[in-house]
Chain A
Amino acid sequence: MRFLHPAQIPLLLLVLISAVAACSPVFGQGAPVLELTDFSGVWAERVHEDSYERSGGPPLGDYQGIPLNDAGRRKADSHDHSEWSLPEFQCRPHSAPYQWRALGSVRFWNEVDPIGRDLRAIHVEYLRSLDRVIYMDGRPHPPEYAPYSWSGFSTGKWEGNTLVVDTDHIKGSYLRRNGASFSDKATMREYIDRHGEYLVITMILTDPVWLEEPLIQTTNYALDTHTALTYYPCTVSEENISSAVPHFLPGTTEHLKDAAGWIPPEAARGGAETTYPDYRQKLKQAAKQ
């Protein structure tokens, strides 16, 4: 009987590990679709991206970094913050595209078939919003005439360890709390990655009505095992509320000119150009001239 030389053992182990890995759905190419990453738990926001606009809210008239087209800019300019006093909007939750950048933690939990153990759906809950369901069972998206929601209708699939989520049927709402908005015709793709105790959400929002290019942004969260989502009720108040819809007429938006403060006025108007890093160089050149 022939034995291995001790120096050959590491090589053999490497071959064995490689063989196992090639057969494993986790590592193998073309592996069957399985739940690859568990996001379950409560995740706390980091608030280091665009943090100046996320707690107190952004300045009025600052749309930099949002690829608004002319129609989207008009929509944003007409925004009056008193809109939040409308009875129908006082309890309006953040919509799915805005939600990742909102304050508060997020909780993921898996809905699993108790018999087949299939992952039916991943639920995502936010502090002041609604349960968002990401269906993982291969169901199609509903027809156009089905109702829309603030969270939209989401289906997910795995690309490696990344959860890829496609969402439509989203009610139109704000992208930034100063009136920059997306419309009902927007669709969203998200890539959700877990790196140990950190979560990275990459969102690509496409809106043919108010954006001239897709809005792409990433948001980070960190696993927080010592917190929980709390009850967050909302009561509509109707005392001293006008029945009119608050907004600014075109030509009455003088208040927007200096609202963005330190931001160059042309950058504050937003647009696709303002979303790219080299736009800063353009601004610097313009300032020199």
Chain B
Amino acid sequence: MRRFGLIFLAVAAFAQQKTADIHVLPVQGNIYMLVGAGGNIAASVGPDGILLVDAGTSQMSAKVLSTVLQLVTAVAASPSPNRCTGLHCSDSPYRWSSPSLNALIASPAPPKPIRYIINTGIDPDHTGGNEALSALPADSKILGVTFPPVGVAPTATVIAHENVLGRMSAEINGKPAVASGLWPTDTYRGTSYKLSEFFNGEGVQLFHEPAAHTDGDSMVYFRYSDVIAAGDILSTTSYPVIDLAKGGTIQGALAGLNHILDLAIPEFRSQGGTLVIPGHGRLCDTGDVANYRNMVAIIKDRVEDMVKKGMTLQQVKAAKPTLEYDGLYGATTGPWTTDMFVEAVYKSLSPKH
């Protein structure tokens, strides 16, 4: 009960809620941003249940599940919306049975389950939780509530671009590259894909970015909440991660960022309005994406100019084409260093590649 109370407070106060290592940031409309599970997760939470954009790492699945179930209980499982001020209810002549009192005394409905998981890409920090979050044992009990509720199919639909499935299921030494439990159950192959019906009262649209981080990136656009989950096309903590081996390019990364800016409409003066959840880092809007896009475009132009002049990769690195941005996005250690980024840009633009 105490935990329920906390989450109610957090949602009401429009503040972030910490559950273990998962932080919840209410974004706008139905959408919440979950931070700390690997890649950022966007969650649509409402009367239809839960839709997750990305699933975090496998190690964080239990915490992700616990967090989203608390969220859906707090947001959508209350007996009825409370539109009363004190006990004065315009929509009820009966003081003693007003929605206000019902909200206090009634038990919450069982939380609706995770219905969809959409993968923005193939990486394990975005897909590692697919199996655990989509295929739960029928008798699972979380916070004392049977999950999933009786009569609801026990698996969520996992959607991704077909290139994600292709790369996950590709055989390496006689075995699939990724265990089948993590594969998407449904794929699309066009430039965009729409869920066939509203979810939590809004349309959900996917856009394929054909050669950005990889060749299987999707952006997810919540059309009423006006939120874009950008996956690894956008990060505020690093240079774009360009996986050349999986079809990524700097040109595609830039095209993806420009696509976000095409879709987004600021509320006022390049701020607010459409909000963008990056694959990693903080919640963004038009101004942030424009700043990041400019950085990517400037570095691409510099390296392209050096490639045209016939400079070698070592010469390009020595010229420090990223100098002023290293303090914001650079790294000398870890999975994606500045050197690796410059090399990926160079190879993307080099005719020999």
User: Is B a genuine binding partner of A?
Assistant: yes
Residues of A within 8 A of B (CB): 70-72, 74-75, 78, 83, 86-89, 91-93, 129-130, 142-150, 171-172, 183-185, 208-210, 234, 243-245, 247, 249-250
Q: Are B287 and A144 in contact (CB under 8 A)?
A: no
From A91, A172, A210, contact of B291 by CB (8 A): A172
Q: Are A247 and B298 in contact (CB under 8 A)?
A: yes
Which residues of chain B (151-200) have a CB below 8 Å from chain A?
none
B337 at the interface (CB under 8 A from A): no
From A78, A91, A144, contact of B269 by CB (8 A): A91
Residues of A near B282 (CB, < 8 A) are 144-148
Known contacts A145-B283, A171-B287, A245-B298, A150 near B324 by CB under 8 Å: no
B251 at the interface (CB under 8 A from A): no
Q: Are A244 and B268 in contact (CB under 8 A)?
A: no
B288 at the interface (CB under 8 A from A): yes
From B284, B294, B305, contact of A147 by CB (8 A): B284
From B16, B281, B287, B297, contact of A150 by CB (8 A): B287
Tell me the bound Cα distance from A236 to B51 in angstroms.
35
Which residues of chain B (240-293) have a CB below 8 Å from chain A?
258, 261, 266, 268-272, 275, 281-291, 293
Residues of A near B301 (CB, < 8 A) are 245, 247, 249
Tell me the bound Cα distance from A87 to B287 in angstroms.
11
Q: Are B270 and A147 in contact (CB under 8 A)?
A: no
Closest 4 CB pairs of A and B: A209-B327, A88-B290, A245-B297, A75-B324
Tell me the bound Cα distance from A70 to B16 in angstroms.
37
Q: Are A171 and B288 in contact (CB under 8 A)?
A: yes
Q: Are B269 and A93 in contact (CB under 8 A)?
A: yes
From A71, A88, A250, contact of B287 by CB (8 A): A88
7 contacts between A and B (CB under 8 A): A70-B323, A71-B326, A88-B286, A89-B270, A144-B282, A146-B282, A147-B285
Tell me the bound Cα distance from A205 to B270 in angstroms.
23
Residues of A near B272 (CB, < 8 A) are 149
Q: Are A146 and B16 in contact (CB under 8 A)?
A: yes
Residues of B near A243 (CB, < 8 A) are 258
B23 at the interface (CB under 8 A from A): yes
Distance from B308 Cβ to chain A, minimum over Cβ atoms (Å): 11
Known contacts A145-B23, A147-B283, A74 near B323 by CB under 8 Å: yes
Q: Are B294 and A245 in contact (CB under 8 A)?
A: yes
Residue of A72, A185, A243, A245 ringed by the most chain B CB atoms within 10 A: A245
Distance from A78 Cβ to chain B, minimum over Cβ atoms (Å): 6
Q: Are A145 and B327 in contact (CB under 8 A)?
A: no
Tell me the bound Cα distance from A146 to B286 in angstroms.
15
Q: Are A150 and B319 in contact (CB under 8 A)?
A: no
B25 at the interface (CB under 8 A from A): yes
* Inter-chain contact total with CB atoms closer than 8 Å: 104
Tell me the bound Cα distance from A208 to B324 in angstroms.
12
B1 at the interface (CB under 8 A from A): no
If A88-B290, A145-B25, A250-B302 are given as contacts, then 8 extra A-B residue pairs at C-beta distance below 8 Å, sorted by A number, are: A88-B266, A91-B270, A145-B23, A147-B282, A183-B328, A185-B327, A243-B258, A247-B301
Known contacts A89-B270, A171-B288, A210 near B298 by CB under 8 Å: no
Q: Are A234 and B269 in contact (CB under 8 A)?
A: yes
Tell me the bound Cα distance from A247 to B324 in angstroms.
14
Q: Are B269 and A185 in contact (CB under 8 A)?
A: no
Tell me the bound Cα distance from A168 to B323 in angstroms.
24
Q: Are B324 and A72 in contact (CB under 8 A)?
A: yes
Q: Are B281 and A145 in contact (CB under 8 A)?
A: yes
Residues of A near B293 (CB, < 8 A) are 245
Distance from A161 Cβ to chain B, minimum over Cβ atoms (Å): 32
Known contacts A145-B25, A145-B281, A145-B283, A86 near B290 by CB under 8 Å: yes
Distance from A238 Cβ to chain B, minimum over Cβ atoms (Å): 11
Q: Are A210 and B297 in contact (CB under 8 A)?
A: no
Tell me the bound Cα distance from A146 to B288 in angstroms.
12
Q: Are B271 and A150 in contact (CB under 8 A)?
A: yes
Residues of A near B284 (CB, < 8 A) are 147
Tell me the bound Cα distance from A185 to B329 in angstroms.
11
B69 at the interface (CB under 8 A from A): no
In the complex formed, the residue of B with least CB distance to A234 is B269
Distance from A266 Cβ to chain B, minimum over Cβ atoms (Å): 20
B35 at the interface (CB under 8 A from A): yes
B211 at the interface (CB under 8 A from A): no
Tell me the bound Cα distance from A129 to B270 in angstroms.
11
Distance from B115 Cβ to chain A, minimum over Cβ atoms (Å): 26
In the complex formed, the residue of B with least CB distance to A171 is B287
From B16, B291, B302, B328, contact of A185 by CB (8 A): B328
Tell me the bound Cα distance from A71 to B16 in angstroms.
34
Residues of B near A83 (CB, < 8 A) are 294
Tell me the bound Cα distance from A244 to B319 in angstroms.
23
Residues of B near A247 (CB, < 8 A) are 294, 297-298, 301
B33 at the interface (CB under 8 A from A): yes
Distance from B324 Cβ to chain A, minimum over Cβ atoms (Å): 4
From A91, A142, A145, A208, contact of B35 by CB (8 A): A145
Residues of A near B261 (CB, < 8 A) are 87-88
Q: Are A183 and B327 in contact (CB under 8 A)?
A: yes
Distance from B302 Cβ to chain A, minimum over Cβ atoms (Å): 6
Residue of B269, B297, B323, B328 ringed by the most chain A CB atoms within 10 A: B269
Residues of B near A89 (CB, < 8 A) are 270, 290
